[in-house]
Amino acid sequence: MKNLFAASAMAAVSIFTPQLAAAQSTTVQQIMDRGSMLCSGHNGSYFGFVEVNDQNEWKGLDIDLCRALTTAILGDPDANQIVPLSWAQRFPALQSGDVDIIIKATGWTMGRDTELGLQFSLPYFFGGAQIMTHGDLGITDATGLVGGTVCVEAGTTIERLVANYLKTIDVEHTMVSYESAAELRSAYLANRCDAFAAWGPSLAVLRATELDNPDAHVILSDQLSSEPISAAMRQGDEGFVDTVNWAIAALLIAEEEGITSANVEDMAATPPNPRVARLLGVEPGMGERLGMRDTWAREMIAAVGNFGEIYDRNLGKDSPYNLERGLNNLWSHGGVLYAPILD
Amino acid sequence: MVGTAMPPQSQFEVARARFKKNAFGTPVATAISIVVFTGLAYVLWNFLNWAVFQAVWSKENVDMCDAHSGGACWSVIDARYRLILFGTYPFDEQWRSITAAIVIVLTVIASCFPAMWQAKRLSLLWVAGFVGYYLLMEGSLIGFERVTTDGWGGLSLTLFLFAAVVLLGMPMGLGFALMRRSEMPVVRWFAVIFIDTLRSLPLVTTLFTAAVVVPLFLPDWLVGDKIWRVIVGFALFFAAYQAEVFRGGFQAIPKGQLEAGKALGINYWSIMGRIILPQVFRHALPSTINMVVVTFKETAIVTIIGFFDILASGKVAFGAPEWSPYYIEVFFFVAAIYWVFIFSLGQYGEYLKRRMALASH
Amino acid sequence: MATAQELRAKAKQRQIMIQSALIVFSLTILWVAVSNAQSNLTRLNMTSGFAFLDRGTGWDYSFSLIDRDINDRYSYTLFVGFLNTVFVGFICIVTTTFFGFIIGTLRDAQHPALRFAANVYVQIFRNIPLILQAVFLYALLIHLGGPRQAISIADVAFLSGRGMMLPGLNISATVAISLVLASILFGIVLLCTKITMWRGLLVWCCGSVLVALVVALIVKPAGESVFSVPVLQGLRFQGGINLPIELLAMILSITLYGSAYIAEIVRGGLNQVPRGLVEAGQALGLTRMSIWTRIKVPMALRSIIPPLGNQWIFMMKATTIGIAIGFSDLFYITVTSISQSGQTLELIMLLMLTFLAINYAIALFTNWLNTRMKLKEN
């Protein structure tokens, strides 16, 4: 009797103890078993990157990258769940497995890479912190902000960058920080703060939405940083990192080669060069090496387009924001985006 | 008439006479009446003027909003009410979301009838209502398109959290209350520590822990969906408070009953189930309703840990550039929804309390 | 046939079994949780421990009572959050109790208009979630406009979307805090003496103000006035006392909500005072005011204090809504620290322990108050 009790107790305990790392399935395997991919959303809208439209659907550059990845892994752009997360929650949520990946305008930092146990993908975007002020203050650079109030988002790299920058140039100021982009935005528009420190692209997007009066807001000349923006994953799953890296690479290569969602099937039928043939899975190699289907890149491009299309749709000329590509163009067009070599 | 001291005819007249005496009996009282009632009327008039007379109602007329600076711009509600009520639930499937919300509301209304006040009927009703809600919202089990909990939002999510927390928390609260009354010191102390700890922590800390920290302590297969962890955390919080409500109910019952039952050789669970608990429930009912009301109000906290409840979706509703000047209208709308729910439940609780006070005399 | 003794022994044995099972069960859960946490931390390659407390934070926040800098260590920053929480909680406890007593008394008033107005207030503010009220109020307040559009009150105080600027004594923050602490200490000393409530309050207020004035006269920089009045300079006001709008929104919203609750508690307490006592007071020719202060309130206090203590604890916990409106309370600082340092477990543990300690202290205080009230009865 006693032995039986002890044995069943041991059995019960062993179920609850963590399995050994070796026995754990990879993230890709988990996604396939689940049949859907868990991506990060935002608690509100982060214009151009993660936003909710009138039909209650998520859209934006980061959401499109998630859809691209979902297509690559599962073959269906809609087989994902967008989990709304605040900035502060994104890393705990990743660590706890609430999301598979964070694609949320997240900068690659040493602390995150080492202490938080994260792994970063190839940078897919470059943008630095900048400061925007109300035009009627007549300020052109950050030294004019003496005594002013600066608003930032809590728990971001920007928060530390701005604090550090303003201290370095010895500008005495008050800082107010908010948990979500929407709150920050309405606080700035309500004139709670003189200045709004954020990531350059999102400032430009915000300014573009104030079309009635383009001079009402001035982006100061100070460039506080240029951050590489990457997707963040849990450490210890190299296979998943490879998948994400090559999905991003495929989007860039497609743009380089002029493959779009419109012409991808024609390109696959008559590939102009061996690189395109390999990318679109006409020649084998693309899938096997990642443990996926050979045609994953073709399906992905058909579903969401190449990187240029994604950019134009969400931030560029086909969006309400109409942002220049600038740094975020291909290296061959004066930008800094490039893909690793597809051999 | 003076001096004849006619006996008042009805209750209404008594009330009127008293009102007259108290409100206009002395010059000071009259002055106070005039000041207070004029003040209230002024506020009410301005409010109505803003909310009704000067307001713009439809989304087509939104360009009139700027000209009409004196009135509310309800166009924002007209344009975005679906977002506020349903969050990011798929647009074409939103009839399911509204049906599910109605199911929960009906469940709450049905449990207000004294005919339902039996443990068995009440639990059946709530389980049925909850299951009905879940089937409708999730969809895949009854042949609709599947919508995962990440897509649930707005008022429907608020109602879901509320129903799930009450349903789970009620039996847990009873369990804690029984443990706290136990004769066994270890069991009693266990309950005391648990209840007191949970009651001293802010709800948002408990929920944040459930959402973010708990997964680190659990084996992978037990982590589950964030929403369920938060519901369990919330239910524990509810249970800790509800246990104290039940304890109050227990204290109203003479100890002799349990002893009498024991002397007759009836076992503990039968005494509890048949004799003590029905009385406890009756005594604890007004405070329980109060607790339910508080829980409904506290669900608004989940917005802090990133859920798309009605407050969060309201914020998104005026987050779009064209709607951002009309935040007051959106907040009013959301506050009105909360108010209607909480006020009517609260009034019902007051009514019960009065009725029971009468019955016990 | 078992004897009564055997039955009793059996029952005892069963009780021991159940209790040991509970102990074993809790210990197992604890052990499982800890081992899971350890292996999860190693698997995710996360660092644990309290070493991060000595590291600089590198970020700034909206409100602090004491000097702050972006190079402060995490321990110091968390302490600032703790101070802010206690500060706001304490102010709200005072304001809600004050207004709660007034509104509760009005709800119990004879005059129907007063009763009606108080009822409207309670029904509006009690039935809307606190966080919604806070967010709404904050949105309204920040739309008041920048410092240049500030509403001026007699040119010495200003209200704008940034906050409230009040004239104050010309002293440094450290001196101000020591003065406040001294005043609290004075209050505690008074509480321990046998002085009556109203006279005690009078002595405490006058004494504190007097001491503050004298100190300000001594420490003021030569050639400057004792008072410092806010003046618009560049992007902000300088001088005086600056209450940021986040702080105002916190205090206002918690006060509006909490006083509606306390009003109900007070009304319940006043209702329980036997009518005969009030009538006796009237027969003695006491004024309404003295009936209220000498008969109703002292009698009602005994049933008011226990629920009031619970409400005070609620006020402390309610400060966690600060995160929704950008006020740097302890919860906000903890959450930001979590996302900046990644030390989730350690920070949450500190947060919970702090709240347990604060609320335990309040519970001790209410118990003490309660026994003191009871002793007076004899």
Q: Quote ipTM for the complex.
A: 0.87
Do residues A159 and A152 lie in contact, with contact meaning Cβ atoms separated by under 8 Å? yes
Provide the pLDDT for residue A18: 44
What tokens were used for B7?
């006996």
Q: Which secondary structure element, helix H or strand E, spans residue B173, and what is its range?
A: helix B154-180
Return the exposure string of C115-130: e unless at least 16 CB atoms fall within 10 Å of the residue's CB, then b: bbbbeebbbebbbbbb
Output the DSSP codes for C170-192: S--HHHHHHHHHHHHHHHHHHHH
Option in B150, B151, B319 nearest A182 (CB): B319
What tokens were used for A85?
């997360």
C70 — contact with chain A (CB < 8 Å)?
Answer: yes
What tokens were used for A278?
């390999």
Å from C203 to nearest chain B CA? 32
Phi/psi for C146 (5° steps) reads: -75, 180
Q: What distance, in Å, lies between the first and last C-alpha atoms of chain A?
A: 65
Q: Which of A211-220, A323-332, B144-153 has the lowest mean pLDDT?
A: A211-220
Å from C159 to nearest chain B CA? 20
Å from C291 to nearest chain A CA? 48
* The residue type at A158: I
CB A164 to CB C161 under 8 A? Answer: no
Between the alpha carbon of residue C22 and those of residues A10, B190, B239, C15, the distances in Å are 16, 9, 19, 11
Å from A130 to nearest chain C CA? 16
Phi/psi for A232 (5° steps) reads: -110, 140
A153 — contact with chain C (CB < 8 Å)?
Answer: no
Output the DSSP codes for A63-131: HHHHHHHHHHHHS-TT-EEEE---TTTHHHHHHHTS-SBEEEEEE--HHHHHTT-EEE----EEE-EEE
Q: Which secondary structure element, helix H or strand E, spans residue A40, and what is its range?
A: strand A37-40
Using CB atoms, which chains have 3+ pairs under 8 A with B? A, C
Residue of A nearest to C49 (CA): A115
What tokens were used for C27?
């210990």
Provide the pLDDT for residue B26: 82
CA distance B327 to C141: 12
- For chain B, 361 residues long, give each residue's pLDDT as a single digit of tens: 444 555 556 778 888 888 887 777 788 888 888 888 899 999 999 888 888 888 888 777 777 776 556 778 888 888 888 888 888 788 778 888 888 888 888 988 888 887 777 777 888 888 898 888 888 888 878 778 778 777 788 888 898 899 899 989 999 999 999 998 888 888 889 899 989 899 889 999 999 999 888 888 887 777 777 888 999 999 999 999 999 899 888 888 887 887 888 788 788 778 877 788 888 888 888 888 889 999 999 999 988 887 888 888 888 888 776 777 788 889 999 999 999 999 998 888 888 888 877 766 5
CB C339 to CB A154 under 8 A? Answer: yes
Provide the pLDDT for residue A260: 93
Provide the pLDDT for residue A24: 53
CB A17 to CB B220 under 8 A? Answer: no
Between the alpha carbon of residue C217 and those of residues C169, C227, C230, C240, the distances in Å are 9, 9, 19, 16
Q: Please, which residues have CB within 8 angstroms of residue C365's CB and are 6 or more apart in sequence?
A: C309
Option in B187, B202, B327 nearest C19 (CB): B187
Segment C135-148, tens digit of pLDDT: 999 999 988 877 77
CA distance B103 to B95: 12
Residues from chain C that touch B32, judged by Cβ atoms under 8 A, are 111, 113-114
Cα C4 to chain center, whole Å?
56
The overall average pLDDT reported for chain A is: 84
Provide the pLDDT for residue A39: 92
C341 — contact with chain A (CB < 8 Å)?
Answer: yes
Give which of B189, B198, B297, B347 to mutate to test C binding, by max C Cβ within 10 Å.
B297
CB C113 to CB B23 under 8 A? Answer: yes
C378 — contact with chain A (CB < 8 Å)?
Answer: no
Do residues C87 and C244 lie in contact, with contact meaning Cβ atoms separated by under 8 Å? no
What tokens were used for A221?
């000349």
Cα B252 to chain center, whole Å?
26
CA distance B147 to B154: 14
Three-class SS of C95-108: HHHHHHHHHHHHHC
Do residues B130 and B136 lie in contact, with contact meaning Cβ atoms separated by under 8 Å? no
What tokens were used for A52?
């909710």
Segment B168-215, tens digit of pLDDT: 999 999 999 999 888 888 888 989 998 989 988 999 999 999 988 888
CA distance A19 to C30: 17
Is 80 exceeded by the pLDDT of residue C124?
yes
Is 50 exceeded by the pLDDT of residue A295?
yes
Provide the pLDDT for residue A17: 47
Is 70 exceeded by the pLDDT of residue A249?
yes
Provide the pLDDT for residue A19: 42
Burial of B325 (0-12, 13-18, 19+ CB in 10 A): middle
Do residues B208 and C335 lie in contact, with contact meaning Cβ atoms separated by under 8 Å? yes
Output the DSSP codes for C97-160: HHHHHHHHHHHT-S-HHHHHHHHHHHHHHHSS-HHHHHHHHHHHHHTT--GGGPEEETTTEEEE
Confidence band for A248, pLDDT divided at 50, 70 and 90: very high
Listed by number, the residues of chain B in 4-63 with a beta carbon closer than 8 Å to a beta carbon of chain A are none
Output the DSSP codes for C251-313: HHHHHHHHHHHHHHHHHHHHHTS-HHHHHHHHHTT--HHHIIIIIIHHHHHHHHHHHHHHHHH
Residues from chain C that touch B339, judged by Cβ atoms under 8 A, are 124, 127-128
Q: Say how many residues make up chain A.
A: 343
Return the exposure string of A44-78: e unless at least 16 CB atoms fall within 10 Å of the residue's CB, then b: bbbbbbbbbeeebebbbbbbbbbbbbbbbbbeebe
Chain A: residues touching B (Cβ < 8 Å): 15-19, 24, 36, 43-45, 52, 54-58, 81-86, 89, 92-93, 95-98, 179-180, 182-183, 185-186, 189, 209-210
User: Per-residue pLDDT averaged across C1-27, rounded?
Assistant: 83
User: Per-residue pLDDT averaged across C189-207, rounded?
Assistant: 81
Residue of C nearest to B299 (CA): C129
Listed by number, the residues of chain B in 209-228 with a beta carbon closer than 8 Å to a beta carbon of chain C are 209, 212-213, 215-219
B140 — contact with chain A (CB < 8 Å)?
Answer: no
Give which of B161, B199, B208, B251 to mutate to test C binding, by max C Cβ within 10 Å.
B208
Option in A56, A96, A209 nearest B83 (CB): A56
C49 — contact with chain A (CB < 8 Å)?
Answer: no
CA angle at B256 for the pair B284 and B123, rounded to the nearest 5°: 35
Whether pTM > 0.90 for this model: the answer is: no
CA distance C303 to C265: 9
Residue of C nearest to A88 (CA): C339
Give which of C38, C43, C52, C74 to mutate to test A binding, by max A Cβ within 10 Å.
C43
CB A175 to CB C341 under 8 A? Answer: no
Phi/psi for A40 (5° steps) reads: -85, 135
> Among candidates A39, A83, A63, A21, which has minimal Cα distance to A237?
A21
CA distance C218 to C212: 10
CA distance C339 to A35: 30
